[in-house]
C-alpha cells in the first residue's frame, strides 16, 4: 500500500449492530514489507444487550396459551409470550430489568424461574414471580418461567348396600 491517508466506509453490519456513519481514517506510512491489521469496535454492542423470556408449562400444557410479561427497567413495556416459545428483545440499553409474570391461569402455579447470564448475575424469585435481568454490554440474558399444573383428587364413596345417602368429607392440605 503506498503511503498516504486512507478512508474506510463500513458497508455491512451483523444483526443488532449499526453501521458506523462516519468513515474511518487511517494513515499509512512508508514501511517496506509491513502488514497492518485494522480492528474496528462497534460501540453499539458496548452500550446495549438483549433479554429473552421463555415460557414453559410442566404437566399437560395448555395449547395456545399466552402469558403477559411486564418488563421494567431503562425501557418499560409488556410482551405476550406463548407457551413453549422464547421471546427475545431487540438491543436494549444496558441496566437492570425486572420481568414479571402478570397473570397465571387458574389451576397453575409458578414453580421455577431459571436464568442464564454470561456474568451469572441475573436470577428469579418464585414467590414474587419476578426475574431480575442484569444486562451487560453485548449480553443476551435469558430466563425461563415454568408453571406446573395443580393436581386434583376426586373421592367416590360407594355405599353397601346401595343406598342413596350423603357423606361429608373434610380435606387437609399439607403446607
CA distance 121 to 105: 29
CA distance 123 to 110: 15
User: In the prediction, which pLDDT does 15 show?
Assistant: 60
The per-residue pLDDT for 45 is 59
Residue 45 phi/psi, 5° resolution?
Answer: -65, -25
Q: How does DSSP classify residue 11?
A: -
What are the φ/ψ torsions at residue 44 (nearest 5 degrees)?
-60, -45
Residues of the chain under the 50 pLDDT cut: none
- From the centroid of its chain, how far is CA 121? 14
Dihedral sign from CA coordinates of 83, 86, 91, 94: positive
- Predicted confidence at residue 4, as pLDDT, reads 74
At residue 37, the pLDDT reads: 60
Q: What is the reported pLDDT for 46? A: 66
pTM: 0.66
Q: What is the pLDDT of residue 133?
A: 97
The pLDDT value recorded for residue 39 is 56
Residue 79: the pLDDT is: 93
For position 115, what pLDDT does the model report? Answer: 97
Cβ pair 114, 123 in contact under 8 A? no
At residue 167, the pLDDT reads 77
Amino acid at each position: 500500500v503506498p503511503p498516504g491517508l486512507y478512508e474506510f466506509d463500513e458497508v455491512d453490519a451483523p444483526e443488532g449492530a449499526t453501521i458506523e456513519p462516519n468513515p474511518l481514517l487511517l494513515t499509512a506510512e512508508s514501511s517496506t514489507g509491513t502488514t497492518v491489521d485494522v480492528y474496528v469496535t462497534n460501540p453499539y454492542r458496548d452500550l446495549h444487550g438483549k433479554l429473552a423470556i421463555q415460557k414453559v408449562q410442566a404437566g399437560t400444557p395448555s395449547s395456545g396459551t399466552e402469558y403477559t410479561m411486564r418488563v421494567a427497567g431503562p425501557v418499560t413495556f409488556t410482551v405476550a409470550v406463548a407457551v413453549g416459545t422464547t421471546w427475545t428483545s431487540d438491543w436494549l440499553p444496558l441496566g437492570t430489568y425486572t420481568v414479571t409474570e402478570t397473570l397465571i391461569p387458574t389451576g397453575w402455579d409458578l414453580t421455577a424461574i431459571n436464568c442464564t447470564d454470561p456474568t451469572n448475575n441475573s436470577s428469579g424469585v418464585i414467590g414474587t414471580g419476578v426475574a431480575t435481568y442484569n444486562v451487560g454490554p453485548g449480553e443476551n440474558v435469558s430466563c425461563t418461567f415454568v408453571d406446573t399444573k395443580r393436581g386434583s383428587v376426586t373421592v367416590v364413596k360407594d355405599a353397601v348396600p346401595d343406598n342413596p345417602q350423603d357423606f361429608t368429607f373434610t380435606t387437609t392440605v399439607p403446607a
